[in-house]
């Protein structure tokens, strides 16, 4: 079997692959896209970092390809959708850069307090200018961490060692977990208002893009110091530039940018109170060696027909089990995603119940799919079928799995319930129906519905009164949104009713506001499966 190592990984990782019987390793660092297309025609695996792009075109040119391994976390340079369609496993190494990124973050924090890079540059220029490089101390200052995952947690430990008070905003983190880590869980507004230093450690998603913008910066203390070693786009760069110039932000440290590489003419380069690094988060010898060896071992396991680890597009199970469980995995992922979008941000427990055939099978992979589906809009690319249980545990969410022998209205049924801290339950149920056993959602929050488990959904709770369905249809029609299908459910005439509308395209913000503002509509959620 041929393995193309397209980007330079640890020599120990390459050596490990060469030592495996039956493997031929091709090292082709810095190849042009045209050269990559030529090289992949008979390869079974590709190892990359972030330089080489594995596009749909590349996969089409590689009929024997079984696995793409990314030595690092982000898989932005791999077309995961195309890989999934072709049955190609895409894997990453999510834990290998944790310490490296945490240490770089804290280096930026230290440089934000004491202008060491600027002072060093002046010394090399032949100057001796002590008065212009005065700093402040970290001791007894407040650090606000936005996102208390693996890296945020490591940063918190280092801040505590420096005698800092640590605040954390993470809407998915249970209070008990924050207490165990000896940090104060607060709202984002509280963190912005009370922090002397702020560092962000969230994945870049629709919810986190521009989380720190003009309005957020205006809530901060004058002279706050801000740091981003996570993903470009969490902090709005235009807002940060203005705040640095006005003095609202005293100093900043950036390792990531909205567009990379950072443009030569970027205004950030001219500001004296900003320390810039060229996306060095994982650039330590230890981190690169770790992820290089780890991805080599994972690729070897897949090609040998063994277990699949850290897959971002499929569960860690063997091919025989996957053939049986495949349809349930897809349904489970969508039910998890649906429940996360209709539940509040913070939940205490996730309860999964199986009826029928799944009650007799090893449904662990399906449970993992549900967990990953629930987390994928929260944790982004970091979460996969392997680490989903650990991410939930880190958030303080208890997972309960029940296999029921009780009667249900369906031969097979999966129920996913999110239990809020106040005991309120948010739920969805799904099964397979029809000649081709298509996945269907058959209940939401206890209301019977029946809609395809795919695409985009409007989930509406409304007063059961004439004209509501027509009003929703009119608003969507005026917005050029086509309705694929619709399901209506009510318990009693004139009471509350559920309306689930599957649409072909996303309604505009204006259309959503009109729907939410319609008098009979009590709750309106737009859900993407």
114: domain CATH number is: 3.40.50.720
Q: Which of 434, 451, 468 is the last residue of a domain?
A: 451
Q: What pLDDT sits at residue 87?
A: 76
Alpha-carbon separation of residue 467 from 32, 330, 419, 463, 471 (angstroms): 60, 36, 33, 11, 6
Arithmetic mean of pLDDT, 442-468: 89
Residue 116 and residue 212 in one domain? yes
More confident residue, 247 or 73: 247
Residue 406 and residue 292 in one domain? no
Q: Which domain holds residue 295?
A: 1-93+284-309
- Residues of the chain with pLDDT > 90, as a percent, come to 60
What are the pLDDT digits (tens) for 163-211? 999 999 998 887 888 888 999 999 999 999 999 999 999 888 888 999 9
207 vs 348: CA distance, rounded Å: 21
Q: Say which of 86, 114, 279, 512 is annotated catalytic.
A: 279
Q: What is the largest CA-CA distance in the chain?
A: 84
Q: Exposure string (b/e) for 18-40, b if CB count within 10 Å is 16 or more? A: eebeebebeeeeebeeeebbebb
- Tokens at residue 175, please? 């209070």
Q: Is 417 considered catalytic here?
A: no
> Is the model's pLDDT at 227 over the cut of 70?
yes
Residue 362, Cβ neighbours under 10 Å: how many?
A: 12
> Is the model's pLDDT at 245 over the cut of 60?
yes
pTM for the structure as a whole: 0.71
User: Between β-strands 398-404 and 413-419, what pairing exists: parallel, antiparallel or unpaired?
Assistant: unpaired
Arithmetic mean of pLDDT, 430-451: 85
CB neighbour list of residue 479: distance below 8 Å, 6 or more residues apart:
507, 508, 510, 511
Residue 65 and residue 29 in one domain? yes
Residue 169 and residue 104 in one domain? yes
Give 435's pLDDT tier (boundaries 50, 70, 90).
low
Q: Is 108 considered catalytic here?
A: no
> Is the model's pLDDT at 486 over the cut of 80?
yes
Q: How many residues does the chain have?
A: 529
Mean pLDDT, the chain, as a whole number?
90
Q: Which residues are 486's β-sheet partners?
A: 501
CB 188 within 8 A of CB 169: yes
Give 59's pLDDT tier (boundaries 50, 70, 90).
very high
Question: How many independent structural domains does the chain possess?
Answer: 4
Residue 75 and residue 129 in one domain? no
Residue 106 and residue 230 in one domain? yes
CB 518 within 8 A of CB 476: no
Q: Say which of 24, 81, 260, 267 is annotated catalytic.
A: 260
> Is the model's pLDDT at 316 over the cut of 70?
no
Supply the CATH number for residue 411's domain: 3.30.1330.90
Q: Which residues are 496's β-sheet partners?
A: 463
Q: What pLDDT sits at residue 386?
A: 59
SS3 3: strand
Residue 431 and residue 508 in one domain? no
For the ranges 27-36, 239-248, 324-333, the lowest mean pLDDT is seen at 324-333
Q: For residue 49, how many C-alpha atoms fall within 13 Å in the half-sphere facing its CB?
A: 20
230 vs 145: CA distance, rounded Å: 12
- Angle 53-57-59 from CA coordinates, rounded to 5°: 80
Q: Is 260 considered catalytic here?
A: yes
Highest mean pLDDT pick, 4-8, 47-51, 303-307: 4-8
Residue 435 and residue 481 in one domain? no
Alpha-carbon separation of residue 180 from 121, 278, 395, 422 (angstroms): 42, 34, 11, 21
CB 473 within 8 A of CB 483: yes
Supply the CATH number for residue 469's domain: 3.30.70.260
Residue 109 and residue 242 in one domain? yes
Q: What pLDDT sits at residue 438?
A: 84
Residue 88 and residue 224 in one domain? no
Residue with tokens 């992979």: 365
For the ranges 268-272, 328-332, 356-360, 523-527, the lowest mean pLDDT is seen at 356-360
Residue 71 and residue 127 in one domain? no
Residue 299 and residue 429 in one domain? no
- Tokens at residue 200, please? 């962000």
Q: Say which of 231, 368, 376, 447 is annotated catalytic.
A: 231
Arithmetic mean of pLDDT, 229-243: 96
Q: Which of 418, 451, 484 is the last residue of a domain?
A: 451
191 vs 172: CA distance, rounded Å: 16
Q: Which residues are 70's β-sheet partners?
A: 48
What are the pLDDT digits (tens) for 257-288? 999 999 999 999 999 999 999 999 988 999 99
246 burial level (CB within 10 Å; 0-12, 13-18, 19+): exposed
Q: Which of 412, 407, 383, 413 is nearest to 395 (CA)?
A: 383
């Amino acid at each position: 079997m041929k393995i193309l190592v397209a980007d330079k990984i640890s020599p120990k990782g390459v050596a490990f692959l060469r030592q495996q019987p039956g493997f031929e390793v091709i090292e082709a660092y810095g190849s042009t896209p045209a050269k990559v297309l030529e090289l992949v025609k008979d390869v079974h695996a590709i190892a990359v970092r972030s330089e080489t792009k594995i596009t749909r075109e590349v996969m089409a040119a590689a009929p024997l390809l079984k696995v793409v391994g990314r030595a690092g976390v982000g898989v932005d340079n791999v077309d995961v959708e195309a890989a999934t369609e072709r049955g190609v496993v895409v894997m990453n190494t999510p834990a290998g850069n944790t310490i490296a990124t945490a240490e770089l973050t804290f280096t930026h924090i230290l440089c934000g307090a004491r202008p060491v890079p600027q002072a060093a540059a002046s010394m090399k220029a032949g100057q001796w200018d002590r008065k212009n490089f005065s700093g402040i101390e970290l001791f007894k200052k407040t650090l606000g961490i936005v996102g208390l995952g693996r890296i945020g947690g490591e940063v918190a430990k280092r801040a505590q060692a420096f005698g800092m008070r640590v605040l954390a905003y993470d809407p998915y983190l249970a209070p008990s977990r924050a207490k165990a880590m000896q940090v104060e869980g607060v709202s984002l507004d509280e963190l912005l208002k009370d922090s002397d230093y702020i560092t962000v450690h969230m994945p870049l998603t629709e919810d986190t893009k521009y989380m720190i913008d003009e309005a957020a910066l205006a809530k901060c203390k004058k002279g706050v110091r801000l740091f981003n070693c996570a993903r470009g786009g969490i902090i709005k760069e235009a807002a940060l530039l203005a705040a640095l110039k006005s003095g609202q932000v005293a100093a900043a440290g950036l390792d990531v940018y909205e567009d990379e590489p950072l443009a030569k003419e970027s205004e950030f380069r001219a500001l004296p109170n900003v320390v810039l690094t060229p996306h060095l988060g994982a650039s330590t010898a230890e981190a690169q060696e770790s992820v290089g060896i780890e991805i080599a071992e994972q690729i070897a396991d897949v090609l040998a027909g063994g277990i699949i680890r850290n897959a971002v597009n499929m569960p860690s199970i063997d091919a025989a089990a996957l053939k049986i469980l495949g349809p349930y995995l897809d349904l489970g992922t969508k039910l998890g995603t649906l429940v996360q979008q209709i539940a509040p941000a913070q939940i205490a427990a996730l309860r999964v119940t199986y009826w029928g055939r799944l009650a007799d099978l090893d449904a662990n992979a399906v449970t993992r799919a549900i967990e990953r589906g629930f987390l994928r809009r929260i944790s982004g690319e970091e979460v996969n079928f392997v680490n989903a249980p650990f991410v939930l545990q880190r958030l303080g969410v208890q997972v309960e799995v029940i296999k029921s022998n009780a009667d249900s209205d369906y031969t097979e049924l999966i129920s996913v319930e999110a239990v809020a801290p106040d005991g309120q339950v948010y739920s969805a149920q799904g099964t397979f129906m029809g000649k081709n056993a298509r996945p269907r959602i058959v209940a939401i929050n206890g209301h019977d519905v029946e809609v395809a488990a795919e695409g985009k959904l409007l989930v509406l709770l409304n007063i059961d009164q004439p004209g509501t369905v027509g009003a929703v249809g009119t608003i969507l029609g005026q917005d050029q949104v086509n309705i694929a299908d619709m399901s209506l459910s009510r318990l009693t005439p004139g009471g509350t009713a559920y309306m689930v509308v599957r649409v072909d395209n996303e309604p505009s913000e204006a259309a959503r506001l009109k729907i939410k503002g319609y008098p009979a509509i009590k709750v309106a959620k737009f859900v993407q499966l």
